[in-house]
Amino acid sequence: MIDKLKKYLFNYTFIEELTPGNESFNTNLKLRRNLNKSLWVGKIFRPLSYKIEDFYDKGKHYICNVDFQDLEHRAIFGFRLAKVIGLKSLKFKTIQLNKLSNFDPNTIKHDRINNNVFLTKLKGVSLTQYLSSNSFETFESSDIINKDEAIFSFVFNLWIGNYDNKDEDFLVDEDKNLISIDYQVLGPGFRDNPKLSLGAWGESFDINDPRDTGWCIGDGKLLDYLRNSINRWEIFKKAIEKINSLPEKKIKLAMKGLNFYNQGTKKNINDLFYSFLLERRTKLEKIIKDWIRADCPIVDLPKDNGVK
């Protein structure tokens, strides 16, 4: 009886699927922790290895020639680095799939990387929903209190190679704080060029191409805000200095227990990932200034090399 009670208390109960159908690449579940009734979002990761037949319903056949099976560890690493650098982020943890009650794993309609569920605390609403429901036409005109967090997030994403961002990947909490929540598609791993970063739709992104840089914030209202903030260089500079002052041992510590691989292989690239981060942070100021001089562009997706 005591063992059953302990098992119940430390398990999570499935409430509903948050992104049914084809609205999300992964499976996202709303969960309740039995111990304290707190609410969480559970993400079941799908391998990034697939063919998209119709890109954004535009009738473009799209071939994604990648195979990344380590997205869970990339997400954990991103969240750890965000926390250590001082970005507002969510509580997160990983549990086994068998810790969920009232959920049938057979309902998952895609392959999964493993039997883990990546949890983040359920908090706030998406930035898109917040702006719309409060009739704010722009991010700048909103009552969000930490607007410069958008600039910090942009610089941070450029550092870690997170080129998979949109307004929906940011939350606004009950205290009107902006919070970034998406850190799974990032970092190196392309066998033909270890300096390229994995990004949206499995595309490769080049830190030296200003058009790619725009995807470190996305193509929505946050991009408009950054474009209107380019004369406030001191905000960008402060974020750059914060990243460059992060001790190397803290980067190593954030990588503890994680494993990263070249696409389609089991070749460990932890050392490569570490060097990737050290090199990129020395380039941040130049790359951001190049992006600003180029009028803050953002490349259209899919790229030409993704269309057949």
66 band by pLDDT with thresholds 50, 70 and 90: confident
Give domain 2-306's CATH number out of 2.50.20, 3.40.50, 1.10.510, 1.10.287.
Answer: 1.10.510
Distance CA 59, CA 8 (A): 48
Peptide bond into 302 cis (omega under 30): yes
pLDDT tens-digit readout, 194-250: 999 999 888 899 999 999 999 999 999 999 999 999 999 999 999 999 999 999 999
pLDDT tens-digit readout, 96-124: 999 999 999 998 888 899 999 999 999 99
Residue 303 near residue 196, CB atoms below 8 Å = no
pLDDT tens-digit readout, 72-81: 999 999 999 9
Cα–Cα distance list, 130 to 92, 124, 167, 171 (Å): 23, 9, 10, 8
Q: In this structure, what token pair is assigned to residue 249?
A: 């041992």
CA 269 to chain centroid: 20
Which are the contacts of 74, defined by CB distance < 8 A and separation ≥ 6? Answer: 68, 183, 184, 185, 186, 187, 198, 260
128 band by pLDDT with thresholds 50, 70 and 90: very high
Nearest to 205 by CA among 306, 74, 75: 306
The structure tokens 């060029």 sit at 193
Which are the contacts of 31, defined by CB distance < 8 A and separation ≥ 6? Answer: 12, 13, 14, 15, 39, 40, 41, 42, 100, 117, 119
Maximum mean pLDDT: which of 13-22, 52-61, 248-257: 248-257
DSSP 159-189: HHT-B---GGGEEE-TT--EEE---SS-S--
Percent of the chain at pLDDT above 70?
A: 89
61 band by pLDDT with thresholds 50, 70 and 90: low
pLDDT tens-digit readout, 150-163: 999 999 999 999 99
Distance CA 146, CA 215 (A): 21
Q: Which helix (H) or strand (E) holds 30?
A: strand 27-33
pTM: 0.93
Q: In this structure, what token pair is assigned to residue 125?
A: 């609403």
Map residue 263 onto helix, strand or coil: coil
What pLDDT, on a 0 to 100 scale, did the predictor assign at position 306? 47
